[in-house]
């Protein structure tokens, strides 16, 4: 079959196209600043729940996060960093999502349960040593797709819950979505924890599969 | 050894960023100032003069001993015996109002959520006079754009945009949860608004000045956001 007869033919893309690499490494910088300044802000009131009714289920009530994890020096500094970089974080996220959808990259990256659930399950069984061999990956394995797709969702939830905390009156509908201002603070902190868990696992897996790190730098092969 | 390189890169990156934040380096400071001005415009753009904060049921009220009381003076500021509120600036009829005068004016009561810049919330009901009612009484010069609120709590003060000051939920409040303001909450009179962060709501009021020029505030001058809307 000659090329012209293939509809919508495009030259093959690298495994990690430039747009994705740019978004990924920008996100590393933005996420570090957002997390550090966010923890600085949390330090001012390291508790969940309104005054007089702090939630009894939260184990770290009135325990500030470790200082070495904070960025901004004091509450106002933390807020300025947080609200400054938030725009870049959102812009980078939109850039990624637009590229992700428009380029068709979503086909090999998005977790589609019908296609990926079985593969994810087998990969999980492999990690638990219940299976001898990992399932055949199709660019990414099902677990990777699940992780990379959920972290996009975490990002959206972080932005929306953050806006609800920032403007609980002007954006009251967002605060309602998260169970009010104090509910939005819970979601925002839970989102940070999920991001933290994702990054931790991500770094461990990258450390054990260094070739993947190189791909995120050079782009890898044209697939 | 890409594994080590990755980790080292990550750690040095994080360290560089925290240094940047810690020592107020000039480029970082200039960037943050630029973004702060941008965010102030965004806050002003997002603010709607007619959008109301939801009023809450009595059951939502925070136990009063759990509602924090902040002041600048080390002890709770005490009102002078001859306390009076001065309304001035570019107004047609400057006024001095006693607490009795204020209590005879049309009152508004609202139970709303309080948002502190530190991150906590609390709920109380506040009764007082809408600042917009007082503005009508004194008659504002068309050049007025800002409002200055002064207090007898050391040199505590705050400057507001006129639109927020004229919001129907911005009160000069003399009562909290159905009783006269307690000294810890700003007696005899405080500014209370549902649409600003706590530090914008000046307690222990002495003066309200309607001005054409923007002025700062106690915390604002030290680096906190000037608009401080919620």
Identify the CA nearest to A89 among candidates A20, A155, A188.
Answer: A155
What's the CA gap between A83 and B40, in Å, rounded?
10
Nearest to A12 by CA among A104, A97, A98: A104
Provide the pLDDT for residue B2: 40
Specify the pLDDT at position B18: 43
**C-alpha to C-alpha distance for A66 and A114, rounded to whole angstroms:** 42
> Which pLDDT score, from 0 to 100, does residue A222 have?
85
Radius of gyration of chain A (CA): 20
**Which residues sit opposite B53 in a β-bridge?**
none
Q: What is the pTM of this model?
A: 0.90
* Position A1 confidence tier, pLDDT thresholds 50, 70, 90: very low
* Mean pLDDT confidence for B168-193: 97
Residues 146-205 in A contacting B (C-alpha not used; CB under 8 Å): 165, 167-172, 181-182, 185, 203
Residue whose token pair is 């700003």 = B186
CB contact A87 to B (< 8 Å)? yes
Q: pLDDT higher for B1 or A175?
A: A175
CA–CA distance, A150 with A159 (Å, rounded to integer): 14
pLDDT digits (tens, 9 = 90+) for A78-119: 999 999 999 999 999 999 999 999 999 999 999 999 999 999
Interface test with A, best of B63, B69, B70, B119 (most A CBs within 10 A): B119
What pLDDT, in 10s, does the model give residues A153-207?
A: 999 999 999 999 999 999 999 999 999 999 999 999 999 999 999 999 999 999 9
Mean pLDDT calculated for residue range B92-96: 98
Flag whether residue A82 sits within 8 Å of chain B, measured between CB atoms: no
Contacting B residues, span 145-164, partner chain A, CB-CB under 8 Å: none
Please compute the mean of the pLDDT values over residues B24-48 and round it to a whole number.
92
Q: Which of B157, B165, B169 is nearest to B127 (CA)?
A: B169
Q: CA–CA separation, A196 vs A17, rounded Å?
A: 25
Which residue, A223, A207, A214, is CA-closest to A137? A223
- Mean pLDDT of all residues in A208-220: 93
Chain B residues inside the 8 Å CB shell of A174: none
Look at B122 and A206 and tell me if their CB atoms are within 8 Å.
no
Tell me the C-alpha distance between B153 and B43, whole Å: 28
Residues B125 and B61 sit within 8 Å (Cβ to Cβ): yes
ipTM of the complex: 0.88
Q: How far apart are CA A204 and CA A209, in angstroms?
A: 9
From chain A residues 102-131, the ones with a CB under 8 A of any chain B CB are: none
Residue A8 is predicted with a pLDDT of 60
User: What mean pLDDT comes out for the span A45-68?
Assistant: 97
Whether pLDDT at B52 is above 80 = yes
Nearest by Cα to B84 from B71, B105, B106, B100:
B100
Burial, A67: exposed, middle or buried (Cβ in 10 Å; 0-12, 13-18, 19+)?
exposed
Domain boundaries, chain A: 18-86, 104-223
How confident is the model at residue B229, as a pLDDT? 97
Cα separation of the two ends of chain B: 49
Q: In this structure, are residues B125 and B110 in contact, taking their beta carbons and an 8 Å threshold?
A: yes
Mean pLDDT, chain A, whole residue set = 93
User: Lowest-confidence range among A58-62, B15-19, B126-130, B225-229?
Assistant: B15-19
Q: Which residues of B touch A216 (CB under 8 A)?
A: none
Within a 13 Å sphere around the CA of A95, how many CA atoms are in the beta-carbon half? 16
Residue B222 has what pLDDT?
95
**Quick one: pLDDT band at residue B14, thresholds 50, 70, 90?**
very low
The confidence score (pLDDT) of residue A7 equals 57
Q: Tell me: pLDDT of A75 over 60.
A: yes
Other beta carbons within 10 angstroms of residue A130's beta carbon come to 9
Residue with tokens 């810890």: B184
Any alpha helices (H) in B82-169, and if so which ranges? 99-104, 131-138, 162-165
Q: What is the pLDDT of residues A10-32, one digit of tens each?
A: 668 899 999 999 999 999 999 99
| Closest approach of A139 to chain B, Cα-based (Å) | 21
Q: What's the pLDDT score for residue A10? A: 64
What is the phi-psi region of residue B158: left when phi exceeds 0, alpha when psi lies from -120 to 50, beta otherwise?
beta
Give the gap in angstroms from C-alpha A1 to the nearest C-alpha of chain B.
41
Fold of the CATH domain B51-222: Sulfite Oxidase; Chain A, domain 2 (3.90.420)
- pLDDT for the residue numbered A136: 86
B194 touches chain A (CB under 8 A): yes
Q: Are the C-beta atoms of B186 and B131 separated by less than 8 Å?
A: no
Average pLDDT over all residues of chain B: 91
> How open is the CA angle B78-B83-B84, to the nearest 5 degrees?
140
Pairing of strands B170-176, B205-211: unpaired
Q: What is the pLDDT of residue A12?
A: 81
H/E element holding A138? none
Q: Could you give the percent of chain B with pLDDT greater than 70?
A: 89
Chain A CB contacts of B224 below 8 Å: 75-76, 79
Whole-Å CA distances, B144 to B64, B150, B225: 37, 17, 21
Place B25 in a pLDDT band, splitting at 50, 70 and 90.
low
pLDDT band at B15 (very low <50, low <70, confident <90, very high): very low
Contact (Cβ atoms closer than 8 angstroms) between residue B229 and residue A170: yes
Nearest to A50 among B38, B120, B219 (CB): B120
pLDDT band at B27 (very low <50, low <70, confident <90, very high): confident
Question: Per-domain residue ranges for chain B?
Answer: 2-43, 51-222
């Amino acid at each position: 079959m000659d090329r012209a007869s293939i509809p919508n033919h495009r030259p093959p893309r690298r495994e990690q196209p430039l747009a994705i690499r740019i978004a990924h490494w920008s996100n590393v910088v933005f996420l570090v600043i957002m997390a550090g300044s966010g923890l600085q802000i949390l330090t001012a009131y390291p508790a969940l729940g309104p005054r007089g009714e702090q939630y009894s289920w939260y184990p770290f009530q009135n325990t500030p996060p470790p200082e070495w994890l904070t960025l901004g020096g004091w509450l106002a500094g933390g807020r300025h960093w947080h609200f400054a970089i938030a725009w870049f974080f959102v812009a980078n996220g939109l850039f990624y999502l637009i590229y992700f959808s428009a380029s068709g990259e979503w086909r090999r990256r998005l977790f589609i349960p019908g296609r990926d659930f079985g593969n994810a399950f087998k990969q999980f069984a492999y990690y638990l040593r219940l299976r001898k061999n990992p399932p055949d990956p199709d660019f990414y394995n099902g677990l990777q797709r699940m992780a990379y797709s959920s972290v996009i969702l975490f990002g959206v939830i972080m932005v929306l819950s953050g806006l609800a905390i920032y403007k609980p009156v002007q954006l009251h509908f967002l605060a309602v979505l998260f169970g009010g201002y104090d509910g939005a603070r819970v979601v925002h902190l839970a989102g940070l924890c999920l991001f933290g868990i994702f990054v931790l696992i991500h770094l461990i897996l990258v450390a054990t599969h260094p070739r993947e790190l190189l791909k995120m730098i050079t782009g890898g092969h044209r697939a | 050894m890409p594994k080590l390189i990755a980790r080292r890169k990550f750690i040095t990156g994080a360290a560089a960023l925290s240094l940047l934040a810690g020592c107020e380096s000039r480029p970082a400071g200039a960037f943050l100032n630029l973004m702060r001005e941008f965010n102030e415009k965004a806050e002003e753009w997002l603010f709607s003069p007619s959008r109301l904060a939801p009023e809450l049921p009595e059951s939502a009220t925070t136990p009063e001993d759990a509602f924090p009381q902040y002041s600048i003076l080390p002890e709770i500021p005490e009102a002078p015996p001859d306390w009076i509120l001065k309304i001035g600036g570019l107004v047609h009829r400057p006024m001095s109002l006693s607490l009795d005068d204020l209590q005879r004016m049309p009152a508004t009561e609202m139970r709303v959520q309080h948002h502190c810049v530190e991150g906590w919330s609390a709920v109380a009901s506040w009764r007082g006079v809408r600042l917009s009612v007082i503005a009508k009484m004194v008659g504002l010069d068309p050049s007025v754009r800002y409002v200055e609120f002064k207090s007898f709590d050391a040199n505590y003060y705050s400057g507001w945009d006129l639109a927020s000051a004229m919001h129907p939920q911005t009160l000069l409040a003399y009562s909290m949860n159905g009783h006269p303001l307690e000294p810890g909450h700003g007696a005899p009179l405080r500014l209370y608004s549902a649409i600003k962060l706590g530090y914008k709501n000046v307690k222990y009021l002495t003066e309200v000045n309607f001005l054409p020029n923007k002025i700062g505030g106690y915390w604002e001058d030290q680096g906190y956001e000037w608009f401080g809307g919620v």
